[in-house]
Structure 1
Amino acid sequence: MNVVDSAKDAGDRVRDTRDRYPDALRAGALLVVVLGHWIATLPRLEGGRVVGTDHLLRVWESAGVLTWVVQVVPLFVFVSAAVSADGVARRLADGQRQRHWWAGRALGLARPTVTYLAVLAALALAAAIGDGRLLAPFDTSLTVHLWFLAMLLGVQALLPLCVRADRRFGLKAVVALVAVAAATDLLRAGVRAPGDLLALGAHVSGSPAGIGWLNMLVVWLLPQQLGIAWKRGRFAGAGAGAALLLLGAAWLVAAIASGYPVAMVGVGLAGNNMLPPTLALVGVMWVQVGLVLLAERPARHFLDRHPVARAVAVLGALGMPLYLWHKLAELPAAWLGGRLGVPIDAGDPGAPGFWTGRLLWIALCALAVAPVMAAVVGFEMRRRRDVAAADASGAIVAGGLALLGGLAASLALGAWPGALIGLALVGAASWLLRAHPQPSADARG
């Protein structure tokens, strides 16, 4: 059975057993991420060969506002927490160990990442031996998207704690996280007088990260805590959605006025609201959650009356492979565009044919990713399905640290040598996180 058939069967089951709205939100967020990454990459060609890449934010300052829409990581974390909250709550009630649940999540992430890093390391090694002219312009961009996996692992490890916090404190837990995030930016900015608040963003942007790294956890825990609260019915409806949307809009306007960068993605492109996350990024979360509530009733009405469950299930089944491999598709897309003379390098925004070139570039990336996805999904479906370690606490901790270390090495060092180092660590994590049943006494003879 192929992945489409499996997704169709899953779609039939989803029709009766799953809430399709969160699934549709996650599928939509995935597509936004993939298309956003492709749009933002600007290949630069000379003589039909790629000699470098640029980024849309670097050449078009106004694109920063668009990131308020395409920075959908808060939305993904929010929805993922809502989907997982009930299962975690049941395990807590039954006294089950949450580390086994997290080990399953980490193993499900590590296995396909091993495949991606193995292929990337092989390509990087071949490029190091050869001239490497095609790989070099894409080197770091082929691993930069792995940051999301590391972040998701971290916040999901604390999901049981967030469920307990919601049960005990309700929305006060969200308020507490906002307060901590605000205090972190205030301390980073060195605010000493009320007047400094008017330029808070400028002070934060002009200060070393320092204590701001605390927000690498706190800011991403916010949508998780909010997603659990949404699942528990602590806020709902178009009225709450409109209020959150207005709050987010006001929050973003105030943040930009105080000197925070406009763009919500990218580091060293148009400022930095990401590493570490700042209070400005929280405004994007309010906007996105507000839109989720405003769209909920019409979206559910549409989902109930149209046969889209299978399409959503297919996107769900392809989610992890597509996220991992969509950046690598830029390599064959660039090679093909250069060979065919497709105007994928159409200058900068405002230049004639720029947006036509963007559309052709996206088409080439989609064309290139299709066979890759078919091969990868076919390979993953033929692999033996492993079970996560249940009680081996030491192995789970070691596996989690190895997985995070492998992702970090790949992020920091790029395709070469980062992919090779990351492959070794993530491969070790995949082994450590698996259950290794011992043969019985009879089997041992």
Structure 2
Amino acid sequence: MTATYAVVGGGISGLVTAYRIRAAAGPDATILVFDPADRLGGVLRTETLCGTTVDIGAEAFVARRPEVPALLGELGLADRLITPTGVRPTIYAGGRLHPLPPGAVNGIPSTPESVTGLVDQQTVARMAGEPDRPLDWQPGGDPAVGQVVADRFGEQVVTRSVDPMLSGVYAGSAKTIGIRSAVPTVAAALDAGAPSLTAAVRKALPGSTTGPVFGAIAGGYRVLLDELVARSGLEWIPVAVDYMYADFRGWNLADATDQTWRADAVVVALPAPHTAALLDDIAPASAAAAARIPVASSVVLAMGVAAGTPFPPQSGVLVATGEPLHAKAITLSSRKWGGGGAAELLRMSFGRFGDAIARETSDEELLAWAAEDLHRVFGIAADPIEVLMHRWIDALPQYGPGHADLAAAVRAGLPPGVAVAGNFLDGVGVPACLAAAGRAAGAVVAATTV
């Protein structure tokens, strides 16, 4: 008899899980993917804007991690990997644009000179003297990254350099993200005995020959998603799984109408709140740990404006804490990724942890905010030719202090034949999701072949 596998959630984590199950379990396995959305892919969503394909969820991945390039090569898509043009982002702080500090690790600068002009001279002097101050670091600890940086470098470095970076990645802040999630290489350097934060950041800096930091896929993430669906041979069940239970044959999954499907093993690849709800009856300890992971919501507004609109030669703008802007980030997509066309394309992101912008602000108000922000930052009155907008509700987990312990607790409490995947476990980026999906696929295939 061949096994049947259920994957609950059709985002990148679920689709890679299905693909890895197929590779491990063989052509006769049945793979059911449950997702009620209008398409598979989750927060990877490719649309057409002014005749050009654009991603209006996650748009890029960390190319220095091996997972995505390796998967593209495995799927015969290596030639689809593209990298940015090399123009640099800026930070909007103190009412004007500043260059992104060079030689930083996720916003934590390695030299005081790199933030001169971005922060005041008192802060620059504090950074310059930091290597001479005694360091109180507990190896293995995971304080909030903002707590460490504020103590060593000053609060302005947090609000004007670290927060803009973390807001873009997590829709959170340095106060809500643990140092081991935000800058694991810096935490490792401190564990290894770095005598100061300055020394730890310098040790964590990547080499100069490691290539571009970020990558994307020509044609958008849809190219990858379609290939994963085709290669996995999955059957898409377009419903939400409301509950699941075990019997002597395996697992039963049911929707709101009590229609039921049977599977020998299950991978839950949902956001943390939905994972907690689904696991509550069958794995209460795992559910409780997942429920403790906070989440944020955001909105991505993509627009095309007239070709030749005089945006500066920058890849975009990250917004410091406390600035009178609505957006937390602006990406000048045509500048960042290159390519001409009938329009200049850009993306704007709204919504941070703790606010209700994504849930409560109307499309019309968001579009008005976008126009205000573009005028304030660039002095440009940009009339959109076409606009796309998508709301990502509860899609961005907050990797608070001690997050690794929560992720371990989610996995530890699972019954045999059930595994988890998703961006709330080991990292919000696509590479981390691929790694977690591979781990989940391996676990359920092993459980059905003992």
TM range (shorter): under 0.3
Pick the structure with more strand per residue. Answer: 2
Q: TM-score, normalised by structure 2?
A: 0.27
Q: TM-score, normalised by structure 1?
A: 0.27
Q: Which has the higher contact order (CA 8 A, sep 6+)?
A: 1
Pick the structure with more helix per residue. Answer: 1
